[in-house]
């Protein structure tokens, strides 16, 4: 289990070196090419694609995180309770919408490029955050809230000092889910001309160059594992702070 602790660090290091000097890893991908096709994608620098991939995902996740949390809070306040049943069924139903379909439907409205990808990622990412915020804020032990009220905390203080800290682990796990899904879905954004790592994979598909497919997939996978790992750690910390884990 000791090795497990260094693995994420090693993966990050490998990724960094690979993105800075992709050509030094050409030997890894050479066996996947045929007819002397290039082993490393060069039309756009992998580093640039990675950065723009990550920025698109980050913008979408931060936006859907903020909106999802705020909506989750609003719907669980006394004045917003009316919307709770609706909110629950919308999240349940909304999550059955295939992300690819959401992306494709955004195109007629927004045209090609980054915009439809952002919108699709935002909309699709909203649901896990919102759902988990809702779960975190509604599944709280009644006696704790009762105690907080008994101590004379105002509703705002209760939210800030009691409800949100208790719900935080679940909220973070919603964000983690959103981030990991978005990271993968963003690759599909390249089918509508968004500058993401999907570009590498699609180039590979079009030219039957497996090396491209593999390196695009590899970079995204490592990113996903790292983000999953980082946010899981944050979740554990939050859970510990909320007294859920020893």
Partner 1 sequence: MMLRPATVFAILVGLGLWLPLVQFKPNRIAAGEGIRLDQALAGGPVIALAVLGLLVLSCIWRMPDRMRIVLALAGMAGSLVVLGHAARSLSVEAGNLARLAPASGFWLMLLGFSLMLADGVARLGPSLPARWLILGLVLVAGFGILASGMLDQISVMREYATRRAAFLHEAKRHLQLAFGSLGLALLVGLPLGTGIYMMRRLRGPVLAALNILQTIPSLALFGIMLPLLAWLAATLPAAGRWGVSGIGAFPALIALFLYALLPVVSNTLSGLETVPRATREAAVGLGMTRWQVLGQVLIPLALPSLIAALRIVLVQNIGLAVIAGLIGGGGFGTFVFQGLNQMAMDLVLLGTLPTIALALLAGIVLDLLIEHVARGRP
Q: Which of 9, 17, 51, 98 binds partner 1 (CB under 8 A)?
A: 98
Cβ-based neighbours of 81, under 8 Å, separated by 6 or more: 75
Ramachandran class of 114: left when φ > 0, alpha when ψ lies in -120 to 50, beta otherwise: alpha
Q: 65, 99, 125, 169: which one contacts partner 1 (CB under 8 A)? A: 99
We find the least distance from the C-beta atom of residue 177 to partner 1, in angstroms, to be: 11
Q: How far is the CB of 20 from partner 1 (least distance, A)?
A: 21
Q: Does 202 bind partner 1 (CB under 8 A)?
A: yes
Question: Which tokens belong to 88?
Answer: 């629950």
Count of positions on this chain that bind partner 1 (CB under 8 A): 48
Q: Check residue 162 for interaction with partner 1 (CB under 8 A).
A: no
Burial category of 139 from C-beta neighbours within 10 Å (exposed 0-12, middle 13-18, buried 19 and up): exposed
Applying the rule CB under 8 A, the residues between 203 and 222 that interact with partner 1 are 204-205, 208, 210, 213-214, 216-218, 220-221
The Cα angle at residue 75 between residues 72 and 80, in degrees rounded to 5: 160
Using CB under 8 A as the binding rule, whether residue 85 contacts partner 1 is answered as yes
Output the smallest distance, CB 165 to partner 1, in A: 27
Q: Which residue has the tokens 């209760």?
A: 158
What span, in angstroms and rounded, lies between the C-alpha atoms of 187 and 100? Answer: 10
Give the 3-state secondary structure of residue 194. coil
The answer to whether 105 contacts partner 1 (rule: CB under 8 A) is: yes
* CA 176/CA 172 separation, integer angstroms: 6
Angstrom distances, CA of residue 109 to CA of 42, 99, 147, 187: 32, 16, 50, 20
Q: Is 32 in the site for partner 1 (CB under 8 A)?
A: yes
According to the binding rule CB under 8 A, does residue 66 interact with partner 1?
no
For residue 120, which of 133, 129, 130, 110 has the smallest C-alpha distance? Answer: 110
Q: Which is nearer to partner 1, 44 or 221 (CB)?
A: 221
Q: Which residues bind partner 1 (CB under 8 A)?
A: 32, 79, 82-83, 85-86, 88-90, 92-93, 95-101, 104-105, 107-109, 180, 183-184, 187-188, 191-192, 197-198, 201-202, 204-205, 208, 210, 213-214, 216-218, 220-221, 224-225, 228
């Amino acid at each position: 289990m000791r090795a497990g602790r260094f693995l994420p660090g090693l993966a990050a290091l490998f990724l960094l070196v690979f993105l800075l000097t992709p050509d030094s890893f050409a030997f890894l991908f050479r066996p996947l090419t045929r007819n002397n096709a290039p082993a490393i994608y060069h039309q756009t620098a992998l580093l640039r694609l990675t950065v723009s991939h990550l920025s698109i995902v980050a913008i979408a996740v931060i936006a859907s995180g903020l909106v999802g949390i705020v909506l989750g809070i609003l719907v669980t306040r006394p004045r917003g309770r009316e919307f709770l049943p609706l909110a629950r069924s919308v999240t349940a139903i909304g999550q059955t919408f295939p992300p690819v379909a959401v992306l494709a439907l955004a195109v007629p409205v927004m045209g090609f490029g980054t915009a439809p990808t952002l919108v699709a990622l935002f909309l699709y990412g909203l649901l896990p955050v919102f759902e988990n915020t809702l779960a975190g804020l509604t599944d709280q032990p009644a006696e704790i809230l009762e105690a907080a009220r008994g101590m004379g905390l105002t509703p705002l203080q209760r939210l800030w000092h009691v409800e949100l800290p208790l719900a935080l682990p679940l909220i973070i796990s919603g964000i983690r889910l959103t981030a990991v899904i978005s990271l993968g879905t963003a690759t599909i954004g390249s089918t509508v001309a968004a500058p993401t790592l999907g570009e590498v994979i699609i180039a590979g598909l079009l030219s039957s160059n497996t090396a491209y497919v593999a390196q695009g997939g590899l970079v995204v996978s490592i990113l996903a594992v790292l983000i999953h790992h980082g946010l899981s750690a944050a979740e554990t910390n939050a859970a510990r702070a909320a007294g859920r884990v020893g």
